[in-house]
A and B are shown apart, each in its own frame.
Chain A
Amino acid sequence: QDNLMESGGGVVQPGGSLRLSCVASGFTFSDHGMHWVRQAPGKGLVWLAVIAYDGTNEDYADSVKGRFTISRDNSKNTLYLQMDSLRPDDTAVYFCARDQRWLIKSVFESWGQGTLVTVSS
């Protein structure tokens, strides 16, 4: 059974950094593109970033480009999101999500439970 488990969330001051992790199990992680999606408290879903199955390509939403970096370690079945220069409006639950096999099709087949990031002084 597919499982994605995020960690690394917490409270951070504006301008600070955090690194989120997402550990995958129950499927061949290295076959799938992976995404990060966030949800501010009481709000809807917003796509943030994607990385190809082999890590060779990545892309970002304009709101986080230049501040966030997505990466993966297929030997550890782990996806990462390095978040720098955090702002209060980055406060949200961050989900990792699995795309379909091989190509990026932006169909989020499986989701983790999310990790809460709070940016506040």
Chain B
Amino acid sequence: IVLTQSPATLSLSPGDRATLSCRASQSLTDYLVWYQQRPGQAPRLLMSDATTRATGIPARFIGSGSGTDFTLTIDTLEPEDFGVFYCQQRLSWPPTFGGGTKLEIK
């Protein structure tokens, strides 16, 4: 299963809303996971099963979608929200990741 993330780069300012897209080559139902990777750091789990926030993830992170089209929305960007965001499918084996969206400070 191929995951295509868009845009490749998103330039926004703190306080803006970010909308990140992940499109799958076939239906995932809701078996879609989101991660954030800050520069020089390990990825961290944000969202599982498309809409379920991981422990400690703020409510401004909102996951939506099902089937082949998924969105990660970040309301009111904070400085620590910038980095690269990856989606990952866990419906079929092996698990695969999208190419990432870089969210940078404008």
Taking Cβ atoms with an 8 Å cutoff, the residues of A that contact B are 44-47, 59, 61, 95, 105-114
Contacts and interface: CB of A to CB of B under 8 A. Distances in A.
A99 B42 CA distance: 15
A3 B30 CA distance: 28
Interface of B: 33, 35, 41-45, 48, 54, 86, 88, 90, 93-100
A108 B35 contact: yes
Contacts of B98: 44
Nearest to A114: B42
Given A46-B97, A47-B95, A47-B97, A95 B45 contact: no
A113 to B, nearest CB: 5
B97 A107 contact: no
A111 B42 CA distance: 6
A111 B44 CA distance: 7
18 contacts: A44-B97, A44-B98, A45-B35, A45-B97, A47-B95, A59-B93, A59-B94, A95-B42, A106-B33, A106-B95, A107-B33, A107-B45, A107-B48, A107-B90, A108-B33, A108-B43, A108-B88, A113-B41
A106 B90 contact: yes
A3 B56 CA distance: 16
Contacts of B48: 107
B71 to A, nearest CB: 19
B96 A47 contact: yes
A95 B94 CA distance: 17
Contacts of B45: 107-110
A1 to B, nearest CB: 11
